[in-house]
Amino acid sequence: MVVILTLSATHLSQSQAATDDPLVTQAEESPQNWPAHGRTYNEHRYSPLNQINTETIGRLKLAWSSNFDTNRGQEGTPLVVNGILYATTNWSKVRAYDGASGKLLWSYDSQVPGPSAVRGCCDTVNRGAAYWNDKIFVGTFDNRLIALDAKTGHKIWEVDTIPKDAWLGDIRSYITDGAPRVAKGIVMIGNGGAEFGVRGFVSGFDAETGALKWRFYTTPNRSNQPDHAASDAPLMTIAYRTWGPHGAWIHSGGGGTVWDSIVYDPQTDLVYLGVGNGSPWNYKQRSDGIGDNLFLGSIVAIRPETGEYVWHFQETPQDQWDYTSTQHIMTADLEINGKKRHVLLHAPKNGFFYIVDAQTGEFISARNYVPVNWAKEIDPVTGRPNIVPDALYSLTGKPWAGLPGDLGGHNFAAMSYSAQTGLVYIPAQQIPMVFTPDAHPLKHKGLNLGISMQGLPDDPAIRDGFLKTLTGWLIAWDPKQQKEIFRVDHRGPWNGGLLSTGGNLIFQGLANGEFHAYDARNGADLFNFNAQSGIIAPPISYEVNGKQYIAVETGWGGIYPLLMGRTALSSGWTVNHSRLLVFALDGTAELPPQNDRGMIPVKPPEQFDAQQAAAGYQLYETFCQVCHGDNALSGGVLPDLRWSGAIHHLAGFQNVVGRGALTAYGMARFDDILSRQDIEKIRQFLIKRANETYAREVAARANPQNIPQGRAITE
Ligand SMILES: O=C(O)c1cc(C(=O)O)c2c(n1)C(=O)C(=O)c1cc(C(=O)O)[nH]c1-2
Ligand SMILES: [Ca+2]
């Protein structure tokens, strides 16, 4: 009898272990932890801890820091469980620290192959891990999902999340950089790649074994056949007829990647997927200009155990602006018009702040949180945008300057909601984009947008005009009134995500390398720390042995500086120093002396072939710009090719660009798509740009620190 009882007790605890982990599901009970991406399932990114507060903030100092081994964009949200901090870094690596002392307990390198970098649009970033039942789950840039033992960092299981036999379009340029989420023993993960050509989907895996439980595709099967997936019914009955049957999507896969927000809500028992943009962007090319293209630009609600479809709400029909709905989704209980409602709060790229019923997907309201010109309004009854005809550039065939631009009114930088103030804090930005339709046949490597990739000309007047339009600010938004309460202006766009705390503080790292705390009630600036590197990641807070800590990853990067190049440094001159910074009251640590020189100009060869260089510009903007910056001006993360030793020698440049001499560092080889002549044209273009800009870059550094000063920074 005793034996049987013992057995069944063991059995019970094992099966419970599989479907519940109170550390995560009851995170509200342990304010000292940050056990899930948004701390609690509601994704508020609010820590109730209040030792660091508006009174004590003056004593906040660096407690410890740790250098990462990748100086690229760091977008990770660390997790903290019972005093151990788990951080993910660029190239999908994981590090576990003693949260109090900063001692490194273990590190795990998922060994992402360098050449996979070129398969993604936006830096080899990673946004975080998930914790469940003593395991840490991380998605890797080459699309593996890995379960690690949280104590040792040893691998428990690993799966390839991309099915070999499914219809995924012809290009299949997948990457994974979002944080997995766990609910009811199922680990869920999506992917990115819609700028190149993929069919978006989310998978659910058994957290204990890695066995696939379900898969949900976000765009239809091109022949409207079953995929034998959870999404079959809604795709075949609802979505397929919203696509032009002969559009380019039948080659690209249509896009709709779920590359960031996946949210489980215990109250509705639903999982909300934030679905991305169309592939290619050009809607005329993608879908013959026909239909709304479900489930692009939508929130889709599914069941956690089965992936079964429940409802969807499309925010951006006919997407042609990269207006993803992947941005941070929160759940909240609000009193709206005298009625208690359980809702989703969402500020997608398209610039409107949406409130949607969490149970049914019913549209409640929307109001623009940044300046918007693509839609006159959101219909107050249907929730459908009233799109301005000129904004449909792929149909008019004419260039159109969009607000928001392709990088959105806010992007991956997380919001925060404080129930204490009733405000949602949004890391908002304005980066306009001119969309010029240019529908090339789809390539198997490189961007497939169906728009012109030409960037800004090197004309100071045009550059200055554009720079004036670039802004970034923190918005405190009252969702009940759908209105801005106050704002904090920053120097430019692309600032970090937000944390709010029980100490009535909001924390934010900035693109210019400062880390701030503001009063959550009025935005007063209460703390400013020189973090030595642009910050794009969101802070977290935790407690160990009665002491409250604030942690944030530093490391300038992501798509904005890679693609926009030098223009992005108008948010503040910054050199990437990738680290974890941890603050506490009366901390005594210091950062090493600052090095702000960045990439130093090197005298280029004097001769170049003007004709080849002109052709090289087009090739550069198509294949190189997305990482090395518009018009060969680097944004301070990846090498500035004007000063590269490789441009001095034809053979050396061919080796790097054509034959992959630097693939280990993430530089792809291009001999499968560029001829030797093409590569030489790019080299000639780089020599030309180096000559055009060398003197002014040297002049800009003519000061004792050797750091570009003033206006010269963005030249
Ligand atoms: O369509 C996609 O599949 C996709 C993926 C990603 C990504 O996974 O990083 C981004 C985007 N789109 C995107 O549009 C975007 O603005 C963006 C910014 C970033 C970043 O980390 O800096 N990623 C992405
Ligand atoms: Ca995108």
Q: Which ligand is nearest to the CA of 511?
A: 1
pLDDT classification of 8: cutoffs 50, 70, 90: very low
Where does the pLDDT of residue 334 fall: very low under 50, low under 70, confident under 90, or very high at 90 and above?
very high
> 59: CA distance to ligand 1 center in Å?
37
* pLDDT on residue 710: 74
Is 715 within any annotated ligand binding site? no
Fold of 64-156+498-587: Thrombin, subunit H (2.40.10)
Per-domain residue ranges of the chain: 64-156+498-587, 161-411+433-469, 610-700
Mean pLDDT, rounded, for 658-663: 95
Question: Which one of 125, 259, 316, 410 would you pick to mutate in the ligand 1 pocket, going by the greatest count of ligand atoms within 8 A of its CB?
Answer: 259
Separation of 161 CA from ligand 2 center, angstroms? 20
- Are 366 and 352 within 8 A, CB to CB? yes
Q: Is 258 in the pocket of ligand 1 (CB under 6 A)?
A: no
Q: Does residue 26 contact residue 14 with C-beta atoms inside 8 Å?
A: no
Please identify, by atom number, the ligand 1 atom nearest to the C-alpha of residue 277.
1
Is 50 exceeded by the pLDDT of residue 13? no
624 is in an annotated binding site: yes
Cα 433 versus chain centre, distance: 18
715 CB within 6 A, ligand 1 = no
Q: How far is CA 365 from CA 263, 342, 347, 356, in A?
A: 20, 13, 12, 7
User: Which residue of the set 21, 142, 322, 406 is catalytic?
Assistant: 322
Distance 122 CA to ligand 2 centre (A): 9
Q: Which of 156, 137, 131, 100 has its CA nearest to residue 25? A: 131
CA distance 394 to 440: 13
Residue 417 CB contacts under 8 Å (≥ 6 apart), including other chains:
42, 44, 45, 46, 330, 332, 345, 423, 424, 425, 500
- Any atom of ligand 1 within 6 Å of the Cβ of 678: no
Phi, psi of 213 (to 5 degrees): -100, -40
**Is the pLDDT confidence value at 288 over 60?**
yes
Atom 16 of ligand 1, residue of closest alpha carbon: 407
Q: Is any atom of ligand 1 closer than 6 Å to the C-beta of 130? A: no
Query: pLDDT-based confidence at 11, cuts 50/70/90?
Result: very low
Residue 4 has a pLDDT of 36
3-state secondary structure 186-243: EEEECCECCCCCCECEEEEEECCCCCEEEEEECCCCCCCCCCCCCCHHHHHHHHHHHC
pLDDT band at 96 (very low <50, low <70, confident <90, very high): very high
Q: Confirm whether residue 312 is marked as ligand binding.
A: no
pLDDT above 70 as % of the chain: 98
pLDDT of 584 above 70: yes
Q: By CB neighbour count within 10 A (0-12 exposed, 13-18 middle, 19+ buried), where does 465 fall? A: exposed
**Does the annotation list 628 as a binding residue?**
yes
Residue 611 CA to ligand 1 center (angstroms) comes to 35
- Read off the pLDDT of residues 32-50 as tens digits, 9 standing for 90 and up: 999 999 999 999 999 999 9
Whether 667 has a binding-site annotation, put simply, is yes
Q: In angstroms, what is the C-alpha Rg of the chain?
A: 24
Give the position, in ligand 1's atom list, of the atom nearest the Cα of 191.
8
Residue 324 near ligand 1, beta carbon < 6 Å: yes
The CATH fold assigned to 610-700 is Cytochrome Bc1 Complex; Chain D, domain 2 (1.10.760)
- 605-658 pLDDT per residue, tens: 999 999 999 999 999 999 999 999 999 999 999 999 999 999 999 999 999 999
- Sort strands 130-132 and 84-89 into parallel, antiparallel or unpaired: unpaired
**Alpha-carbon distance 414 to 130, whole Å?**
16
Q: What was the pLDDT predicted at 244?
A: 98
Q: Compute the Cα dihedral for 248, 455, 496, 521 and give only its sign.
A: negative
Question: Comparing C-alpha atoms, which of 318, 403, 313 is closest to residue 354?
Answer: 313
Residue of 412, 563, 638 to test ligand 1 pocket, by largest number of atoms within 8 Å of CB: 412
Active site residue 206: no
Residue nearest to atom 15 of ligand 1 (CA): 407
Averaged pLDDT for residues 197-212: 98
Does the CB atom of residue 277 touch ligand 1 within 6 A? Answer: yes
Output the CA 440–ligand 1 centroid distance in Å: 22
In the reported structure, the alpha carbon of residue 122 is separated from the centroid of ligand 1 by a whole-number distance in angstroms of: 6
Query: Is 195 annotated in some ligand binding site?
Result: yes
Q: Which atom of ligand 1 is nearest to the CA of 75?
A: 21
Mean pLDDT of 233-261: 98
Residue 29 vs residues 150, 418, 500, 590: alpha-carbon distances, Å? 21, 17, 18, 34
Indicate whether residue 319 lines ligand 1 (CB < 6 A): no
Q: 471 - beta bridge partners?
A: 430
Instruction: Establish whether residue 260 lines the binding site of ligand 1, counting it when its CB lies within 6 angstroms of any ligand atom.
Output: no
For residue 18, what pLDDT is reported? 73
195 CA distance to ligand 2 middle (Å): 6
Contacts of 4 (CB under 8 A, 6+ apart): none
The DSSP result for 138-160, as a single string, is EE-TTSEEEEEETTT--EEEEEE
195 lines ligand 1 (CB under 6 A): yes
Q: How far apart are the CA of 410 and the centre of ligand 2, in A?
A: 13
**What's residue 12's pLDDT?**
39
- Euclidean distance between CA atoms 409 and 687, whole angstroms: 36
pLDDT digits (tens, 9 = 90+) for 424-453: 999 999 999 999 999 989 998 889 999 998
Cα–Cα distance for residue pair 263/215, rounded to 1 Å: 16
Give residue-wise pLDDT tens across range 517-561. Answer: 999 999 999 999 999 999 999 999 999 999 999 999 999 999 999
Q: Read off the pLDDT band of 2 (50, 70, 90).
A: very low
Section 311-329 average pLDDT: 98
451 labelled as ligand-binding?
A: no
Atom of ligand 1 at shortest range from CA of 192 = 3
Confidence of residue 595 (pLDDT cuts 50, 70, 90): confident
Rounded distance between C-alpha atoms, residue 157 and residue 146, angstroms: 6
Mean of pLDDT values over 225-253: 98
Sole residue written with tokens 């997407």:
319
Q: Is the CB of 477 under 6 A from ligand 1?
A: no
Give the distance (Å) from ligand 1 centre to CA of residue 43.
20
Which-ligand-closest: CA of 121?
Answer: 1
The model's confidence at residue 489, banded by pLDDT at 50, 70 and 90, is very high
Q: What is the mean pLDDT of the chain?
A: 95
Q: Whose CA is nearest to atom 21 of ligand 1?
A: 558
- Confidence class for position 7, pLDDT limits 50, 70, 90: very low
In short, whether 76's Cβ falls inside 6 Å of ligand 1 is: no
Q: Is 261's C-beta closer than 6 angstroms to any atom of ligand 1? A: no
- Provide the pLDDT for residue 713: 77
- Looking at residue 614, what is its pLDDT? 97
CATH code of the domain made up of 161-411+433-469:
2.140.10.10
Which protein residue has the closest C-alpha to ligand 1 atom 5? 192
pLDDT in tens, 142-198: 999 999 999 999 999 999 999 999 999 999 999 999 999 999 999 999 999 999 999
d(CA 554, CA 76): 9
Determine the pLDDT at residue 15: 46
Q: Any known ligand binding at 322?
A: yes
Residues 509, 539: contact at Cβ < 8 Å? yes
Using DSSP, how many helices (H) and how many strands (E) does the chain show?
A: 12, 37
Dmax over CA atoms of the chain, in Å, equals: 91
